[in-house]
Amino acid sequence: MAASEPTPTAFAKGLAGVVAGQTAICSLSGTLRYRGYDIEPLARAGDFEEVAFLLLHGELPTAAERDGLQRRIAAAAAHLPSAVLDALERLAVTEPHAAPMDALRTGVSMLGLVERDDTPGPAAALVAQAERLIGQVAALLAAWIDMTSGRPVAAWPDAPLAAALLERLTGRPPTAAEAAIFGTTLVLYAEHEFNASTFAARTVVSTGSDMHSAITAAIGTLKGPLHGGANEKVLEVLGEIGSADRARPWVEEQFAAKRVVMGFGHRVYKDGDVRAKLLGEMCRAMVSGTQADGLEALAAEVEAIMLERKALKPNLDWPAARVYHALGLPVKVFTPIFVVARMSGWTAHVIEQIGDNRLIRPLSVYSGPAPRDYPPLASRSSGF
Ligand code: COA
């Protein structure tokens, strides 16, 4: 800004409502669309490779193109660099209780080091790097869980990513129905415009930094409970409430303490998250008549109270946590699964940002002390 321009005095806290750029990858107006395609048929198909191809290449794949991507992702998952695996193995021995999100963030950073990722390459090389990262991060997650459970790291299954990852995390091949709904969650988690972690990734590469640095920052950003970390908190919340009859006093207690209820509300969707509606229906159909039905009754009660008391509707994390629980997945892998899926969206945004870059550098309104004189060290007394 030139010195003669006025100092800014207004700002939007949390950048709420601020348009910070443009993207051809995803739109949220009306409904959620990936590159122009409505989310509903994509989610119902539940084919993660199809969606990852669409996000990274710009168009839906042919059958051969889709299978090619499946092979490339699986090959990357099957061949993690040994230097990274060895380092994680040592960390798993000394830090067995570290969060898998921290292991993923560290693992991606190490991948950047061994791959000597220091400059953005041509677009085709970036797309290849992105495809590799999807497989690698899925395999890193499964390897970390094996290592911290005292098991040898198992081989990567020759299957679509959804079925392969589910098998690696549960220890058994999934049924077709299980793989399908898990695939749907990956499709729904794949991309969401300028959310906090994607914006973090774009900010990193806007400085001319590399893909792995951007993704490392994105994983750290996703970890927070107001963003991706919410899906793990949702299951903790449901466990804490315990039964439908305790829902109302529990919710009232949260409001009285000015605590947010995890899995509800959204910065952009103020009239409900289309993803939550879609997955919520699928979740209820999946668990109907099973043991998990009790949790659905509790979830429905909380939803009704949140709507009645605050007009707040669930976001995607609300049903996703219940689906993952019903699939027998441990809570600690919920947010890491989000990482695997969102890797496709993050990397698509990184490539888009690099392709038409300008340094991301907003302004702030200064709210500190008025200008004052610098006192010499010897003349200062403690202000505390
Ligand atoms: N539980 C209780 N109250 C909530 C709430 C929730 N989950 N989400 C929003 N509110 C309240 C806010 O406290 C605010 O109340 P106030 O007007 O009395 O201050 C009001 O609803 C409006 O919220 P808003 O400012 O529009 O929210 P935001 O856009 O700043 O925040 C989230 C969006 C997602 C961070 C917020 O809804 C939240 O913390 N949700 C829980 C965490 C979560 O599920 N995250 C995953 C998001 S996909």
Contact 140 CB / ligand 1 (< 6 Å): no
Judged against a pLDDT cut of 90, whether residue 182 lies above it is answered with yes
Q: Could you read off the pLDDT of 194-226 as tens digits, one per residue? A: 999 999 999 999 999 999 999 999 999 999 999
Residue 316 alpha carbon, nearest atom of ligand 1: 48
Amino acid in position 310: K
Instruction: Name the pTM for this structure.
Output: 0.95
Q: What distance in angstroms lies between residue 131's CA and the mean position of ligand 1's atoms? A: 34
Q: Could you read off the pLDDT of 284-295 as tens digits, one per residue? A: 999 998 877 789
| 23-224+331-355 CATH fold | Citrate Synthase; domain 1 (1.10.580)
Percent of the chain at pLDDT > 70 equals 98
Judged against a pLDDT cut of 80, whether residue 4 lies above it is answered with no
- Residues facing residue 38 across a β-bridge: 33
Evaluate whether the domain defined by 230-326 bears CATH number 1.10.230.10.
Answer: yes
Residue 234 alpha carbon, nearest atom of ligand 1: 44
Judged against a pLDDT cut of 80, whether residue 246 lies above it is answered with yes
Nearest CA to ligand 1 atom 25: 267
Query: If you average pLDDT over residues 327-342, what whole number do you get?
Result: 98
Q: Could you read off the pLDDT of 60-101 as tens digits, one per residue? A: 999 999 999 999 999 999 999 999 999 999 999 999 999 999
Distance CA 13, CA 1 (A): 21
Residue ranges of domains in the chain: 23-224+331-355, 230-326
Q: Do 318 and 234 touch, CB atoms closer than 8 A?
A: yes
Q: Could you read off the pLDDT of 112-160 as tens digits, one per residue? A: 999 988 778 889 999 999 999 999 999 999 999 999 999 999 999 999 9
Query: If you average pLDDT over residues 21-49, what whole number do you get?
Result: 97
Active site residues: 266, 317
Contact 49 CB / ligand 1 (< 6 Å): no
Pure H helices in the chain: 39-45, 48-57, 63-78, 82-94, 100-114, 123-148, 161-170, 176-189, 196-206, 211-222, 230-241, 247-256, 274-287, 293-310, 317-326, 334-355
Nearest CA to ligand 1 atom 2: 260
Contact 313 CB / ligand 1 (< 6 Å): no
Q: What distance in angstroms lies between residue 224's CA and the mean position of ligand 1's atoms? A: 14
- Dihedral sign (CA 100, 104, 109, 112): positive
Q: What distance in angstroms lies between residue 213's CA and the mean position of ligand 1's atoms? A: 29
Q: What distance in angstroms lies between residue 255's CA and the mean position of ligand 1's atoms? A: 11
pLDDT, position 1: 47
Contact 228 CB / ligand 1 (< 6 Å): no
Nearest CA to ligand 1 atom 36: 265
pLDDT, position 384: 61
Q: Do 216 and 117 touch, CB atoms closer than 8 A?
A: no
Residue 228 alpha carbon, nearest atom of ligand 1: 46
Q: Which of 8-12, 16-20, 90-94 is predicted with the least confidence, judged by mean pLDDT?
A: 8-12
Nearest CA to ligand 1 atom 6: 260
pLDDT, position 8: 75
pLDDT, position 5: 62
- Encoded tokens for 23: 């993207």
Q: What distance in angstroms lies between residue 203's CA and the mean position of ligand 1's atoms? A: 24
pLDDT, position 2: 47
pLDDT, position 378: 94
pLDDT, position 289: 85
Mean pLDDT value across the chain:
95
Total length of the chain: 384
